[in-house]
Structure 1
Amino acid sequence: MHSPALTHQMNKLYSSFFTDTNTFDVVDLDAQETALSAYEQAIVLAPREAILYYHKGQVLEQLGRIAEAQIAYETARNLGHRC
């Protein structure tokens, strides 16, 4: 199921979570976990949306979960995302 509207909404809601810093306070960590949960739910609804896996990878990377992030990025690439 290709859902551009879902992808757009997810990007709009969670793009602010992607920063260049690896230091988080408790609020930011909670926000990252919320973003991760939202991307996982979106992937259930639209499992062929490469961009969702890419953004999930970004969140995982910021949480220090590098191996999981690499898997998400690889899935995004396999679905056609250039990352």
Structure 2
Amino acid sequence: MADEYGRKWDRCLADTALKTVTGLGVGIVLSVLLFKRRTWPVAFGSGSGLGMAYSNCQHDFRSPYLIHGRMVKDQ
């Protein structure tokens, strides 16, 4: 049980980092190309990435019977 909990935390932190950095990058690109170097696309992009990661982590911790990457067969 502790092993699965640790794996969920690792997955959650990696997902949070990936989505936040991706949202930040998209926000920077949109800010430079479309919005005349305003700061709100950067904040919106990183906030959206952080919000999606939070939602994924919340779903992952609230569903304890899902095993990622494995198929469980009924006997």
Query: With structure 1 as the length reference, what TM-score do the two structures score?
Result: 0.32
Rg comparison, structure with higher value:
2
Query: With structure 2 as the length reference, what TM-score do the two structures score?
Result: 0.35
